[in-house]
Amino acid sequence: MAAGRRGDRRRKLLPGNGPLAGVHPLLAFLAVLAVFALGVWLGGPLGALLLGLLAAAIGVLLAVTWSRLSGSERAIRLLVLLVVIAIAFERLG
């Protein structure tokens, strides 16, 4: 990430005119946190479904932003994706 962009809280979540372009990063973080917490708390098939949907959304965002990410950013995001998938399988069982 460029040094000038780091810490810029007014920057859009995703550049462009897509559906997430106007979403405030804090709101997106809180929504993801809420879905994750609900999936873990519910457990069972419903919790696993919520976590699976969250993993799918993370995967889509990762695929869309892949070319803009550095190697370390890609690695961290892949790790997060794998952890969410692992937790989803764990909550299923």
At residue 10, what are phi and psi to the nearest 5 degrees? -90, -5
How many domains, in total, are found in the chain?
1
- Give the range of the structural domain holding residue 88, as residue numbers without chain letter: 44-92
Q: Which amino acid is at 87?
A: I
Could you tell me if 38 and 47 are in contact, meaning their C-beta atoms sit under 8 angstroms apart? yes
Q: What is the pLDDT of residues 50-84, one digit of tens each?
A: 999 999 999 998 998 899 899 999 999 999 999 99
Question: Which pLDDT does position 19 carry in this prediction?
Answer: 73
Task: Tell me what percent of the residues of the chain surpass a pLDDT of 90.
Answer: 63
Residues 7-33 as b/e (b if ≥16 CB within 10 A, e otherwise) read eeeeeebbeeeeeeeeeeeeeeeeeee
Evaluate whether residue 7 is within a structural domain: no
